Structure 1
Amino acid sequence: MAQPQIISQKRIRGAVTGEPSGSSSTPSSSNTQISQLPNPGTLTDELAALFECPVCFEIVLPPIMQCQVGHLVCASCRPKLSCCPTCRGNLGDIRNLAMEKVANNLMFPCKHKQTGCRMSLGLNEKAEHEEICEFRPYTCPCPGASCSWQGQLEKVMVHLKHAHQNITTLNGEDIVFLATEINLPGAVDWVMMQSCFGHHFMLILEKQEKCDGHTQFFAIVQLIGSRKQAEHFAYRLELNGNRRRLTWEAMPRSSHEGVASAIMGSDCLVFDTSIAQLFADNNNLGINVTISIVN
Structure 2
Amino acid sequence: MKKRPGPYHHSSSCAHKRNKMSSLDATCTDLASLLECPVCFDYVLPPILQCQSGHLVCSSCRPKLNCCPTCRGPLGNIRNLAMEQVANTLKFTCKYNSSGCALTLTCAEKTEHEEQCQFRPYSCPCPGASCKWQGPLEQVMPHLLSAHKSITNLTGEDIVFLATDINLPGAVDWVMMQTCYGHNFMLILEKQEKYEGHPQFFAVVQIIGSPKEAKNFAYKLELNGSNKRKLTYEASPRSIHEGVAAAINGSDCLIFDPSIAKLFADHGNLGINVTISQI
Q: TM-score if structure 2 supplies the norm length?
A: 0.78
CA apart distance, 1:100: 3.1
Matching residue within 203, 208, 211 for 2:192:
208
Q: Is the 8 A contact 1:181 1:283 kept in 2?
A: yes
Tell me, yes or no, if the aligned pair for 1:39 and 1:45 is still in contact at 8 Å.
no
Distance 1:202 1:74, change over 3 A: closer
Amino acid of the structure 1 residue aligned with 2:211: R
Q: Which residue of 2 aligns with 1:177?
A: 161
Question: Are 1:289 and 2:274 an aligned pair?
Answer: yes
- Match for residue 218 of structure 1 among 190, 202, 209: 202
The 3 A distance-change label for structure 1 pair 238 and 73 is closer
2: CA distance, partners of 1:133 / 1:114? 13
Does residue 145 (structure 1) correspond to residue 134 (structure 2)? The answer is no
Question: What is the aligned counterpart of 1:194 among 168, 175, 178?
Answer: 178
Q: 1:128 Cα deviation (Å)? A: 4.1
Which residue is 1:158 aligned to? 142
Structure 1 pair 95–212 and aligned structure 2 pair: CA distance change class (3 A): closer
Which of 234, 245, 253 is 1:268 aligned to? Answer: 253
| Residue aligning to 1:51 | 35
Percent same amino acid among aligned pairs? 65
Q: How does 1:17-28 map to 2 (within 5 A)?
A: none
> Which residue is 1:280 aligned to?
265
Contact kept in structure 2, 1:64 and 1:99, CA below 8 Å: no
Q: Structure 1 residue 284: deviation in Å?
A: 0.4
Relative contact order, higher structure (CA 8 A, sep 6+): 1
Alignment of 1:92-171 (within 5 A): 97-171=81-155
What's the counterpart of residue 239 of structure 1? 223
Question: Structure 1 pair 289/217, CA: closer, same or farther in 2 (3 Å)?
Answer: same
Greater helix share, structure number? 2
* 8 Å Cα contact 1:179/1:285 also seen in 2: yes
Structure 2 counterparts to residues 49-88 of structure 1, below 5 A? 49-61=33-45, 62-63=47-48, 65=50, 74=58, 76=61, 79=66, 83=70
Q: Answer yes or no: is the 8 Å Cα contact 2:67–2:74 preserved in 1.
A: no
Q: Quick check: 227-236 or 125-134, which moved more?
A: 125-134
Q: CA RMSD in A?
A: 2.8
- Unmatched 5+ residue regions in structure 1? 1-37, 85-89
Indicate the SS of the match to 1:207: strand
Q: How many residues align?
A: 251
* Cα distance in 1 for residues equivalent to 2:157 and 2:246: 25
User: How many angstroms does 1:55 deviate by?
Assistant: 3.9
Q: Deviations over 1:115-164 (max 9, x none)?
A: 34454443345334423434321111111122221110000011111221
Matches of 2:104 and 2:33, distance apart in 1? 14
The answer to whether the 8 A contact 2:125-2:240 is kept is yes
Q: Counterpart of 2:222 in 1: which secondary structure? A: strand
The change in CA–CA distance for 1:182 and 1:51 in structure 2 (over 3 A counts) is same
Letter in 1 for 2:190: E
Q: 1:105 to 1:179 in 2, by over 3 A?
A: same
Q: List per-residue Cα deviations over 1:231-273 (Å, max 9, x = no partner).
A: 2222111111202111111111111111111111111111111
Aligned residue for 1:252?
237
Taking the aligned partners of 1:167 and 1:48, their CA distance within structure 2 comes to: 46
Structure 2 CA distance for partners of 1:274 and 1:125, relative to 1, 3 Å: same
**Cα pair 1:64 1:100 within 8 Å, conserved:** no
Residues 26-41 of structure 1 aligned to structure 2 (within 5 Å):
none
Structure 2 unmatched ranges of 5 or more: 1-20
Output one character per residue of 1:19-57: Cα deviation in whole Å (capped at 9) or x when no partner.
xxxxxxxxxxxxxxxxxxx97971333322332234421
| CA positional deviation for 1:83 | 4.8
CA distance in 2: counterparts of 1:291 and 1:131, whole angstroms:
24
Q: Higher strand proportion, which one?
A: 1
Secondary structure at the aligned position of 1:104 is classed as helix
CA contact (8 A) 1:218 1:271 kept: yes
- Match of 2:29, SS state, is helix
CA separation in 1, counterparts of 2:161 and 2:22? Answer: 51
TM-fit CA distance, 1:184: 0.7
- How does the TM-score come out when normalised to structure 1? 0.74
